[in-house]
Amino acid sequence: MYAYGLRNAYGIHGANSEDLFAALLRAPADRRLAVTIAKHEFGAGAMADGATRMTGRPACLVATSGGAAMNCVPALAEAYQSRVPVLALIGSPPTTGEGRGAFQDMCAGPRTVDVLTVLRGVTGFAAKVAGPDDLGPAFDGALDALERGLPAALLLPKDVQLAPCPGLPHRTAAPRASAAPSDEVVRTVRAARRPLFLLGEAASRARLAGPVAELAARTGAVVAVTPNGRDAAPDVGVVGVAGVMGHPSVTRAAADADLVLALGTDLDLMDRSGLDAVIDVTCTVHVGAEPPLREVTLHESSRDLAAYTRALAAAVGGRTRAAWTAIVPEPILVPRNDSGIMTCADAVDALAPAIPADALVFADAGNAGAAAVHRLPLGSGERFLVALGMGGMGHGIAAGIGAAIATRRPTVILAGDGAFFMHGMEIHTAIEGRAPVVLVVLNNDAHGMCVAREDKFFPDLTSINRFRPSLIGAGLAAMFPSLRARSATTPDGARAAFADLLAGRGGGPSVLEIATDPAEIPPFAALLPDTAKEHR
């Protein structure tokens, strides 16, 4: 695994995974993966996911059998949907006990759970290594899946783990094939007079800001980014964030465009919301590893977006052209009540200026994530991620911790109290790993986006998504004496506490709890009143 490029493994010990961990720990120091013990297998999988997205290297998830194996499924589902190459090594009972009542048997369906069928639904490759001779073909199949950008899972029975293993040749990651843009794409882009570039998550992972800036300068294009395409935005010519949590300035620019060039986005609903009417009638060229999730004028396949974009800029040639519109990002004015309580948007506005330029920023699901996508200025931190493949609460917390452990980079996580109560105890993993994380918990004592949905769609019903008050900051401070934890109720208090925690981030993780309004309407298209959907 080390030879292939893996450097980090995350998981939880167990009777049928302990030998896998022992093998990792016994590897020579110069070929040893860093091992992190998490609190939950979903958290471990999300950590591997976050590390993979931020380093560009596949990371490893290690789990034992039974419930532990099942806990891996939602994390692998997010990795599959978002095309993140995570390698899962899952232990199982000895083959001699399969179908004979072994504890946590998962391999004798239909009498037992059929774990391979489950795993094959959330990975690009899953196989059981039934004997030592199966390891080579299974490992090759797993690496093939990783090279397609998909997670893979190997099921390793206990007795097979302990058997002598034939030597396997060291395999290194295959270089990405770079396809040159077709003549048709070059002609189309060169002829456009009002092009709009739409950048997705794959563009962010490819660090496409430089090549996009060059191509935009040659074409006079303006740029919109999807929620996870922010890292690819150039310094100038950006009209805003697209999608369900995006800016109306994007739809206005798109309405006047004569070409949409979509780079590294699947054009799923979270990315393209508000743009379907434009794509229906405007020449739209899509470039990515796979075809998009809606019809476009032309799809061109490329797994190396940086090389493709540079080649396209060179082929288009010509003089530098000014951007065809001066539209700039314009956040929505969301209606607010007179409670006087901070909103998630207020909190993001207060914290954004202090986020370190080299920080990794993770946003979790719900109101916290919507506020981060909509309100964080482009360029806040160096990298940004919100897990929208499955959109599960708590993923951002664990993914951020995993990335911080893998990179040792300052990391800011923006999450709600709902996400915290699901997987916030991974803060213990951050403490043990001295991860340079500031976990910001926007605590509205509610499932805030669910409250907003109740208010809009079920106004006749009493809310079941508001809860009794909780003191997360004080509780964590009492639970973990070495953890620096603060609480704030005002923008000034949040700014001061955040600055204090950032100043001491070299000592490990910290937590900032900010009290927010449970009645907040988030900047999420389906929940906004019609009067708020256009900037005023």
The residue type found at 213 is A
Model pLDDT, residue 532: 60
> Which are the contacts of 521, defined by CB distance < 8 A and separation ≥ 6?
334, 335, 336, 452, 527, 528, 529, 532
Q: In the predicted model, what is the mean pLDDT of residues 357-384?
A: 96
For residue 180, the 8-state DSSP code is P
Q: Do residues 215 and 301 touch, judged by C-beta distance below 8 A?
A: no
- Ordered domains of the chain (ranges, CATH): 8-162 (3.40.50.970), 183-316 (3.40.50.1220), 344-527 (3.40.50.970)
Q: Do residues 152 and 179 touch, judged by C-beta distance below 8 A?
A: no
Per-residue model confidence as pLDDT tens digits over 24-63: 999 999 999 999 999 999 999 999 999 999 999 999 999 9
Model pLDDT, residue 533: 53
Q: Do residues 64 and 91 touch, judged by C-beta distance below 8 A?
A: yes
The radius of gyration of the chain's CA atoms, rounded to the nearest angstrom, is 24
Model pLDDT, residue 256: 98
**3-state DSSP assignment of residue 299:** strand
Per-residue model confidence as pLDDT tens digits over 435-489: 999 999 999 999 999 999 999 999 999 999 999 999 999 999 999 999 999 999 9
Model pLDDT, residue 173: 85
Per-residue model confidence as pLDDT tens digits over 483-515: 999 999 999 999 999 999 999 866 799 999 999
